[in-house]
């Protein structure tokens, strides 16, 4: 399996990252240090995870040179207005204790200042936000830029029979890329797992030279146990002498995405980095199982954010 993918900038991004969403401040430092010892060189964080100080301290304490580590952070919804972007980025840089990020993503296709109604124009077409991010690359504060939680305008596939699943397929990415961009989005980080395998988005991304990053790769909160108990996954694990989690993480990389497993348990952090290619028939067996079952509704914060629309539609 590839240990890295090459981005349009020429930078090589490691294919496995430690995800630190929902990693508590008291545990994230240890997880980062364990990961670096186990060979990880990619940490996927965000301003809103509220643990950047602890992540930064662990990176420093590890003794691993900064240039050997890939650090991603994300621009929160409150800061999409062009004048708010550089201060938001500087805050993440200060907290992480570094003077540049390897990757900075627009966290959600939603421009909404704290406590205010969302900015419809900037949400529908975040080109002004993007232009400022391009400027941050030119200034050297960021090496690569991308998006997160952007889905594509596509018709539902036949297996999405129920109307509530059609929201997978709609989004604003094409609005953004229709502008005369100086730098195209290098990645799109979205939920991808056994329950939400997103084969259409994956196909579209391959056709458009856009790397996907899979968050909640094991199924996310509440569904990890279900994933690891899927009969096909258990059978493949047994056949290859791997754990079910290793089978799933390997499957993600074999599909051509970056994979971001989160764990704060040292043994699992180590386990999740030990991956290997699945023989083609076993890969196909898992792929077929993933794309042919009834999908679960994915993680969707629209209601919690009081939106009058579904952010995935
Ligand atoms: P913990 O952090 O307590 O170790 P996802 O990456 O899909 O969001 O899943 C994250 C969840 O899966 C976390 O609750 C994490 O628990 C758990 N997890 C991570 N790796 C493994 C593993 N190898 N086996 C079982 N559970 C895991």
Protein residues with CB under 6 Å of any ligand 1 atom: 19, 216-220, 224, 245, 261-265, 268, 271-272
Q: Which of 171, 174, 103, 160 is nearest to 310 (CA)?
A: 171
ipTM: 0.98
Is residue 49 part of the annotated active site? The answer reads: yes
Q: Tell me, in angstroms, the distance from the centre of ligand 1 to residue 226's CA.
A: 12
Domain ranges, ordered by start, for the chain: 11-292
- State the catalytic residue, choosing from 5, 40, 49, 118: 49
Q: Tell me, in angstroms, the distance from the centre of ligand 1 to residue 222's CA.
A: 10
The DSSP H or E segment spanning 253 is helix 244-254
* CA-to-CA separations, 191 to 54, 258, 261, 298, in angstroms, rounded: 25, 12, 11, 8
What's the predicted TM-score (pTM) here?
Answer: 0.95
**Domain 11-292, CATH number (from 3.40.50.2300, 3.40.50.920, 3.60.150.10, 3.20.20.100):** 3.20.20.100
Burial 120-157 (b: 16+ CB within 10 A, else e): eebbebbbbbbbbbeebbeeebbbbbbbbbbbbeeebe
Q: What is the rounded CA–CA span in Å between residue 62 and residue 69?
A: 11
Q: Which residues pair with 187 in a beta bridge?
A: 211
* φ, ψ for residue 42, nearest 5 deg: -145, 120
* φ, ψ for residue 142, nearest 5 deg: -140, 140
- pLDDT by residue, tens only, the chain of 313 residues: 999 999 999 999 999 999 999 999 999 999 999 999 999 999 999 999 999 999 999 999 999 999 999 999 999 999 999 999 999 999 999 999 999 999 999 999 999 999 899 999 999 889 999 999 999 999 999 999 999 999 876 554 544 455 444 445 456 788 888 899 999 999 999 999 999 898 888 988 998 899 999 999 999 878 999 999 999 999 999 999 999 999 999 999 999 999 999 999 999 999 999 999 999 999 999 999 999 887 676 788 988 888 888 787 6
Which regions of the chain does DSSP assign to beta strands (E)? 4-6, 12-14, 18-19, 42-44, 70-75, 103-106, 145-148, 187-191, 211-215, 258-259
């Amino acid at each position: 399996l590839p240990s890295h993918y090459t981005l349009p900038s020429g930078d090589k991004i490691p294919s496995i990252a430690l995800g630190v969403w929902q990693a508590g401040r008291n545990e994230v430092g240890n997880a980062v240090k364990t990961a670096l010892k186990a060979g990880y060189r990619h940490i996927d964080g965000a301003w809103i995870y509220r643990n950047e100080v602890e992540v930064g301290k662990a990176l420093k304490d590890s003794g691993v040179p900064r240039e050997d580590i890939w650090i991603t952070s994300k621009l929160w919804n409150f800061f999409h207005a062009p004048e708010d972007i550089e201060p938001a980025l500087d805050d993440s840089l200060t907290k992480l204790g570094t003077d540049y990020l390897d990757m900075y993503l627009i966290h959600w296709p939603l421009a909404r200042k704290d406590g205010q109604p969302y900015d419809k124009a900037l949400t529908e077409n975040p080109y002004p936000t993007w232009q400022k991010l391009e400027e941050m690359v030119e200034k050297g504060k960021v090496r690569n830029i991308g998006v997160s939680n952007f889905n594509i305008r596509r018709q539902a596939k036949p297996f999405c029979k129920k109307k509530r699943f059609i929201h997978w397929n709609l989004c604003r990415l094409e609005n953004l890329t229709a502008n005369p961009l100086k730098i195209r989005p290098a990645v799109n980080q979205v939920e991808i797992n056994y329950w939400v395998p997103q084969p259409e988005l994956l196909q579209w991304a391959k056709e458009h030279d856009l790397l996907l990053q899979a968050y909640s790769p094991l199924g996310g909160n509440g569904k990890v146990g279900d994933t690891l108990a899927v009969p096909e996954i258990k059978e493949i694990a047994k056949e290859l002498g791997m754990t079910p989690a290793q089978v799933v993480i390997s499957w993600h990389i074999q599909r051509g995405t970056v994979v971001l497993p989160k764990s704060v348990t040292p043994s699992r952090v180590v386990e999740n980095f030990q991956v290997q290619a699945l023989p083609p028939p076993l890969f196909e067996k898992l792929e077929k199982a993933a794309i042919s079952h009834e999908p679960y509704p994915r993680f969707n914060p629209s209601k919690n954010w009081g939106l009058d629309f579904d952010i995935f539609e």
